[in-house]
Amino acid sequence: MNIKKVHMKNPEIYRKGTVLFTFGVVFNVLLCTVLIMGSVILTKKGNATGKEVVELTKEKGVEIFEDVYELYKGAAGDLRVDSEETMRMLAQYDAVSYDLNLSFDIPNKSIHGINYMTIRAEVDTFRTIYINLHDNLKVNSIGIKNKMRTGINYREAKDIPQWDSSASYTQTKDYIVITLAESDIPMKGDLLAIRIDYSGKPVKKGFDSFSFKELYGNMYIYTLSEPNWGPVWWPSKDFPDDKATMNMRLTVPNGMKGISNGKLESEIPNEDGTTTFSWSSSYPIATYLVSIVVGTYTYWEDTYTSLDGTKEMPVVYYAFPKDSAKARIDWKSTPEMVKYFSETFGEYPFINEKYGNAQFGWTSGAMEHQTITSYGYLLVTGDNRYDYVNAHELAHHWFGDAVTLKDWKNIWLNEGFASYCEALWMEHKGGTEAYLAHMKGFDFGYFSGTVYAPQGFIDNPAIYATIYQKGAWVLHMLRGVMGDEKFFAGMRDYYEKFKYSNADTENLVAVMEQHYGSSLSWFFDQWVYKGTGRPKYEYSWKFEDFQGQTGSGVYTVRLQLKQVQKETIEVYKMPVKITVVTDAGEKEFSVFNDTREQSFLLTVDSKPKEVIIDKDGWILKKAAKGTYEK
């Protein structure tokens, strides 16, 4: 996400933390708050300049404030917390597929849904089914079929004839709890089909879980469920490590488009003045990546050809009519981006379906919904200034959508990776200098907490920066440690090994160690698991004639290197590049710094003029020159 991503670029609005906006604040304080939060709200990742923030605030100040306020109001609390008993109950089954049918009452801002679920029993003692659904929605009826016992051969749950919708259930704040009848109790491995009919008014939670919003005179309906707000609009087993296939059927007023994940199977007009758009996702999808966007759009598409030349995939675009000309400029490079990331990590993971962008009601954030990124409408400018957002969200389809985190402690595996891919795209387009400049822009000087298992979620601006920007720095530094060949081989292997499933940080470490050839625990401990800061180097140097041979033209540089930071990591062990500037040019050395104080002897063939520590910025650090100690 670019908040998330614009999940989100520049710490874009991420949760937890103090409430920044309150009613009744004097105008000046309000204005300052809006400008400060602009870095979060306007550019998704922290790369907007102060000028851009001011200009965008002037243009859309009220809307931006409303988005920030609503985001914080919804995200600052009330995240679902599941008890150990609930988790034990949920572990008794695996979600296999969903077939969700939605229609909308726009004047009343309400929905009606029928979700056909297929689940697999994981134990022989399965008696009670817990399904996530918030109590803002009312369950009308539930039906159950044991597919193994009916003997009916059907492809989808919705195809089961003569549903008996009399299953016994109760509804709590966060769950539907279904008690199975004796005739429906499964054996381990049995498949159960469940039909849930429900209706009500979705509520806005988190980053904007479900919204009816008027923009430019048109009504739009859209969702953004990360991390666990999907149940405010549809029933599911709402955990990222339980992926399933998904069908989505959206019945919308004629003239509107119903957009969702996967492949568009049909677009059928109905006699009542509505149209039903049917989408299918044959690849496993995590519930938080399921998306709907409904509204009036200008549509066009490009084509991406697979690396082996055998498949042509549509790259689709849905823009607000007012913005379509600008969007054609901003999104034109998308197929090239798909090709670049495919060449770098492996073929685009959803090649049999699509990739696309759809504008939605966020101002400057975006969200990597599987195969169809939701794109903040103020990010469409017609001058490509937010190409990095496009790259970020697309990169998530490798790291986040195909390889999905096992749990939210590992959120950096989504956001740190996608942020780093921004820099890789910059390198592809502008070379090493552009890459290093982008990474430098990710260093805010201070990061809060650890990269792994942050104390809160990314809606907290401090945590956002740690997960996105420091997470990207972790990969940048790992590349410096491993070297390009081993690093990118490891990244490709990690993607291929966990594609269409889930991974955690330990899985990444294991893969990268295989390619590195030795342990990397020292690296991940200090940068991901335990460290909250960075090394602060203090260095000094002097030079003398090599072995006392005056006039030889060869010199010995005596370098003293200290780490003087005060934090939990006393010594950051890192290879450090040392650049010695001489009369004849520069000479580069690589030393491994693994103690608090260390001395190195370097030999150069011209008179030294200066010594620079980590000149190109491969280490997240601070460095200051000290006095040489004899």
Q: How confident is the model at residue 460 (pLDDT cuts 50, 70, 90)?
A: confident
State how far the Cα of 477 lies from the Cα of 527, in Å rounded to an integer.
9
pLDDT tens digits, one per residue of 265-291: 999 999 999 999 999 999 999 999 999
Give 334 or 154, the one with higher predicted confidence: 334
Residue 213 has pLDDT above 70, yes or no: yes
Nearest to 94 by CA among 121, 123, 69, 115: 121
Residue range 454-464: mean pLDDT, rounded = 86
Q: How confident is the model at residue 34 (pLDDT cuts 50, 70, 90)?
A: very low
The residues near 253 (Cβ < 8 Å, ≥ 6 apart) are: 106, 273, 274, 275
Asked whether this chain's domains 84-294 and 536-625 adopt the same fold, the reply is yes
Identify the pLDDT of residue 156. Answer: 63
Identify the pLDDT of residue 549. Answer: 79
State how far the Cα of 379 lies from the Cα of 359, in Å rounded to an integer.
9
Cα–Cα distance list, 397 to 190, 331, 348, 378, 512 (Å) = 32, 17, 8, 23, 20
Residue range 8-34: mean pLDDT, rounded = 35
Note the CATH number of domain 84-294.
2.60.40.1730
Residue 69 has pLDDT above 90, yes or no: no
Cα–Cα distance list, 286 to 194, 236, 241, 359 (Å) = 19, 10, 7, 21
Report the percent of the chain where pLDDT is more than 90.
79
pLDDT tens digits, one per residue of 187-196: 999 999 999 9
Residue 295 has pLDDT above 60, yes or no: yes
The gap between the terminal CA atoms of the chain, to the nearest Å, is 52
Identify the pLDDT of residue 31. Answer: 36
Residue 49 has pLDDT above 90, yes or no: no
Residue range 88-93: mean pLDDT, rounded = 97
Identify the pLDDT of residue 436. Answer: 98
Give 206 or 34, the one with higher predicted confidence: 206
Domain ranges, ordered by start, for the chain: 9-75, 84-294, 536-625
DSSP structural state of residue 466: I
Note the CATH number of domain 536-625.
2.60.40
Identify the pLDDT of residue 548. Answer: 75
Identify the pLDDT of residue 160. Answer: 66
Report the percent of the chain where pLDDT is more than 70.
86
Residue 21 has pLDDT above 80, yes or no: no
Q: How confident is the model at residue 611 (pLDDT cuts 50, 70, 90)?
A: very high
State how far the Cα of 232 lies from the Cα of 236, in Å rounded to an integer.
10
Residue 131 has pLDDT above 90, yes or no: yes
Residue range 487-498: mean pLDDT, rounded = 98
DSSP 188-202: TT-EEEEEEEEEE--
Identify the pLDDT of residue 183. Answer: 85
State how far the Cα of 610 lies from the Cα of 390, in Å rounded to an integer.
41
DSSP 421-436: HHHHHHHHHHHHHHHH
Give 268 or 18, the one with higher predicted confidence: 268
Average per-residue pLDDT for the chain: 89
Give 150 or 160, the one with higher predicted confidence: 160
State how far the Cα of 487 lies from the Cα of 353, in Å rounded to an integer.
29
Give 569 or 147, the one with higher predicted confidence: 569
CB 401 within 8 A of CB 17: no
- Using alpha carbons only, give the angle 63, 256, 348 rounded to the nearest 5 degrees: 85
Q: How confident is the model at residue 151 (pLDDT cuts 50, 70, 90)?
A: low
State how far the Cα of 612 lies from the Cα of 422, in Å rounded to an integer.
27
The residues near 437 (Cβ < 8 Å, ≥ 6 apart) are: 426
Identify the pLDDT of residue 532. Answer: 96
By 3-state DSSP, what share of the chain in percent is helix, strand and coil, each rounded to 5? 30, 35, 35
Helix (H) or strand (E) holding 462: helix 461-465
Q: How confident is the model at residue 78 (pLDDT cuts 50, 70, 90)?
A: low
Q: What stretches of 201-328 adopt beta strand conformation (E)? A: 210-215, 218-223, 244-253, 257-260, 263-269, 274-285, 292-295, 298-305, 312-319
Identify the pLDDT of residue 161. Answer: 66
pLDDT tens digits, one per residue of 220-250: 999 999 999 999 999 999 999 999 999 999 9
SS3 call for 76 = coil
State how far the Cα of 374 lies from the Cα of 463, in Å rounded to an integer.
23
Q: How confident is the model at residue 154 (pLDDT cuts 50, 70, 90)?
A: low
Residue range 503-522: mean pLDDT, rounded = 98
- Residue 514: count of CB within 10 angstroms of its CB: 13
Burial of 253 (0-12, 13-18, 19+ CB in 10 A): middle
- The verdict on whether omega for the bond into residue 240 sits within 30 degrees of 0, i.e. cis, is no
Chain-centroid distance of CA 548 in Å reads 58
Give 90 or 73, the one with higher predicted confidence: 90
DSSP structural state of residue 528: I
- Helices 484-498 and 471-482 pack at an angle, to 10 degrees, of 120
Identify the pLDDT of residue 35. Answer: 34
The residues near 123 (Cβ < 8 Å, ≥ 6 apart) are: 92, 188
| pTM: predicted TM-score of the whole model, two decimal places | 0.90
Residue 175 has pLDDT above 90, yes or no: yes
The residue assigned the tokens 């003569």 is 162
Residue 164 has pLDDT above 90, yes or no: no
Identify the pLDDT of residue 337. Answer: 98
Tell me which amino acid residue 510 is: A
Give 502 or 156, the one with higher predicted confidence: 502
Identify the pLDDT of residue 10. Answer: 41
Identify the pLDDT of residue 152. Answer: 54
